[in-house]
Structure formats: C-alpha cells, structure tokens
Amino acid sequence: MKLTFRWYGESDPVTLDRIRQIPGVKGIVSAIYDVVPGEVWPLEKIQDLQERIRSYGLELAVIESVPVHEDIKLGKPERDRYIENYCKTITHLGEAGIPVLCYNFMPVFDWTRTDLAFELPDGSNTLIYEEAVMQQMNPLTGDLSLPGWDQSYTRDEMKQLIEAYRDVTEQRLWEHLQYFLERIVPAAEAAGVKLAIHPDDPPWPIFGLPRIITGEQAYERFLRLVDSPANGITFCSGSLGADPDNDLARIIRKVGGEGRIHFAHTRNIKHTGFRSFQESSHLSSDGSLDMAEVMRALADIGFDGPLRPDHGRMIWGEQGRPGYGLFDRALGAVYLNGLWQGIQADRAAAEQGSQVKEGAEC
C-alpha cells in the first residue's frame, strides 16, 4: 500500500510542505485544472506539475482526474474528437511516467452533497447528503441550491444539459461507456497507464440522471466491457458505503482478486436515514463503515497500489475547501497507516508462529 494525499495545486490552502510532514505519505494525487474539459493535456504541463511535487520529495502517484466530456457520456457525434484527445492525454501521462488515472462517468454532477458545512455535536463541520432535501430541488425550473454546483452552469445551460440526457437510459449510458473504453483502454495499455473508474457518489440516480457504477454487480459488468489489466477501478469506501446494501469487503475481495483495484479512497460515513448520510472521521467507531475490515480486505488481496484518505471534516477552526482540509485528513492518513501496519504485523507474527510450530512437529 502506497499512502497518498490529494493536492489541488498552487491555489490549495493545504501546501506541499505541510503534506510531506504527514507520517507515511510519499505520493500526491492531483490534476491540471486550467485545461478546458475535452482538450488535450500538454505534456509540458504534466511534467511541470510532476517536478513541482518532486521538489518537495514527493511523487505524483495518481492523476485525479481527467474529466470526461459530456458529449462522450451523451454519445454525441462530436465524442470521437474528445475521445481522441483523451487518448492523447493518456499517452502524455504515460510519457511522464504517471502510473494511474482516476476518472468518473457521472452525468452532469460529480460527487453531490446537500450541505458542505453541517455542524456536528463536537463542533466540527462536515459534508452531508439528505435525500429529502434533494427531492425539493428541480434544476429544470432553476430551483437548485446545491452546494458546489450552483455556479457551475447558468440556469439555461443546466436545463439544456439535463434535457439532453432525457433519452439516455442506464442501458444507453452503459453503451456509451463501452464505446469510450474500447478506445481508451488500448491507449492506456500502450502508455503503461492503469485506468481506475471512480464509483458514482452517491451511488443512485440524481435528478433522474442515470448512475451506473454503483456496486458489485455494476463492477462485474464494467470489467467485462473491456477485459484488460489496464481497465480497473478506484475503490471508494465512502461512495459505495453510502448504500448499506454494498458489502465493501466482499467487493474488494471479488474485484481485487482479479487485480483490478488500481487505486483506493478510504473514508467513513454515518448513515442517517434513507439515502442520507454524514461524513464522519475515518475511525470505524465514528461511522457506519468498518474501516479495519476494509483495510484487512485490501491486505488479503495483496493490494500494493496508491491509497489516500478521502474527504475529512473541518476541525480546529480550519478554513478552506470543504472536505479537503489538512487536519482531519492527516489524522485519517495516520489512522489508516496504523491499521495497515497492525494488520501486517499480526500476519507476520502468525506466519512466524506457524513456522515455529511446524519446526517443533518435525
């Protein structure tokens, strides 16, 4: 397991000189944020980002993410140009030696929450999702108070985009994803880049828009679309865990047993009702997910890829990007690293004990 940390570039209040002080963190997860979605990422920009990170004794371990243009998801005729550009970006990532590319295939909205600063009893602030609040919104009428997305599109742009998806069923979205994969996976194979699709967050439809990367059966279907070692997943415990029906350890052992987990986001959430949750600290005791079992399952499959603490609370009065403060994510990184080291130590002791017993019997 390679412990990593998300960094949003020079505008990020969480700086590289602070990240490198977190015990165990050697890798950075980042992206280029000034290239228009659908256009090619210049090799020089990738290398500049890489060198900036290396100057702090860290490595650019994962690109998260290269946005997938909406025309690709919609299956429009213009998608071929954008897919060609995507392949060129993958080639450039390979030339720079970037091993993993995380991306998602969620229509219109990326990860979605109804409040970015919900105050918990201990005085910290966190991200939450409440289905009842979502049901009161209607982006087609302009009745949208969705934190983080209100300014992403004008009212007309939002309406046009959602209406464009009116005829895109789950089946059609799967077909568009397969079309995309059949073209980018060969580029990834040639470039030596592992593709890692992120599950939908949360893993259910939003405003009638289909979401298809939602759990075990979806992963099985996804991996069959293009059967290649380069075509894999980002395992995100918080996204998948929002649905109580998802057995996280089972998913890890099933998908990871095929060597197809290329990246891991490990965070905890607390279920608060039907399709509703709060993001908690990473500790198993603070949320609804058994993080020790998640890490144990990753160890069982011999996971040796990049892993990062995901969204954290805003604690100790910290201000900044909601979900991406320094303090709680740093605590999460240390907790996850402690779990991992404890699991490895227990296994080493058990193996040594077994060897001693076998020697005594001889």
The whole-number average pLDDT for the span 100-118 is 94
The candidate with the shortest Cα–Cα distance to 212, out of 249, 170, 182, is 170
Work out the burial of residue 16: count CB atoms within 10 Å of its CB; fewer than 13 is exposed, 13-18 middle, 19 or more buried: buried
The pLDDT score that the predictor gives to residue 145 is: 72
Q: Give the single-character DSSP code of 301.
A: T
CB neighbours of residue 115 within 10 Å:
17
The pLDDT score that the predictor gives to residue 140 is: 76
Q: Is the pLDDT of residue 150 over 60?
A: no
Answer yes or no: are the C-beta atoms of 282 and 336 closer than 8 Å.
yes
Mean pLDDT of the chain: 94
The whole-number average pLDDT for the span 301-315 is 96
The three-state secondary structure class of 232 is strand
**What is the rounded CA–CA span in Å between residue 164 and residue 356?**
66
The pLDDT score that the predictor gives to residue 353 is: 77
Which of the four pLDDT bands, split at 50, 70 and 90, describes residue 149? low
Buried b (16+ CB within 10 A) or exposed e, 305-344: bbbbbbbbbbbeebeeebbbbbbbbbbbbbbbbebbeebe
256-283 tens-digit pLDDT: 888 999 999 999 999 999 999 999 999 9
The whole-number average pLDDT for the span 297-310 is 96
Percentage above 90 pLDDT, the chain: 85
Which of the four pLDDT bands, split at 50, 70 and 90, describes residue 326? very high
What is the rounded (10 degree) CA torsion for 37, 43, 47, 48?
A: -60
CATH superfamily of 2-111+169-271+281-361: Divalent-metal-dependent TIM barrel enzymes (3.20.20.150)
Please work out, in degrees rounded to the nearest 5, the angle formed at the alpha carbon of residue 344 by the alpha carbons of 339 and 348.
Answer: 150
**What is the rounded CA–CA span in Å between residue 50 and residue 61?**
9
Q: Is the pLDDT of residue 127 over 60?
A: yes
3-state secondary structure 32-70: CCCCCCCCCCCHHHHHHHHHHHHCCCCEEEEEECCCCCH
192-251 tens-digit pLDDT: 999 999 999 999 999 989 999 999 999 999 999 999 999 999 999 999 999 999 999 999
The pLDDT score that the predictor gives to residue 64 is: 96
80-91 tens-digit pLDDT: 999 999 999 999
Residue in this structure with the two tokens 């996976």, named with its chain if needed: 185
The pLDDT score that the predictor gives to residue 21 is: 98
Active site residues: 198, 236, 265, 310-311, 324
The pairing of beta strand 194-197 with beta strand 125-129: unpaired
The pLDDT score that the predictor gives to residue 239 is: 98
Answer yes or no: are the C-beta atoms of 311 and 127 closer than 8 Å.
yes
41-56 tens-digit pLDDT: 999 999 999 999 999 9
The candidate with the shortest Cα–Cα distance to 120, out of 226, 242, 277, is 277
Integer CA distances (angstroms), 297 to 166, 276, 288, 318, in order: 39, 26, 17, 33
Q: Is the pLDDT of residue 356 over 80?
A: no
The pLDDT score that the predictor gives to residue 357 is: 66
The pLDDT score that the predictor gives to residue 196 is: 98
Residue in this structure with the two tokens 């009702």, named with its chain if needed: 273
> Domain limits of the chain?
2-111+169-271+281-361
261's tokens: 């987990």
HSE-CB at 19 with a 13 A cutoff on CA atoms is 30
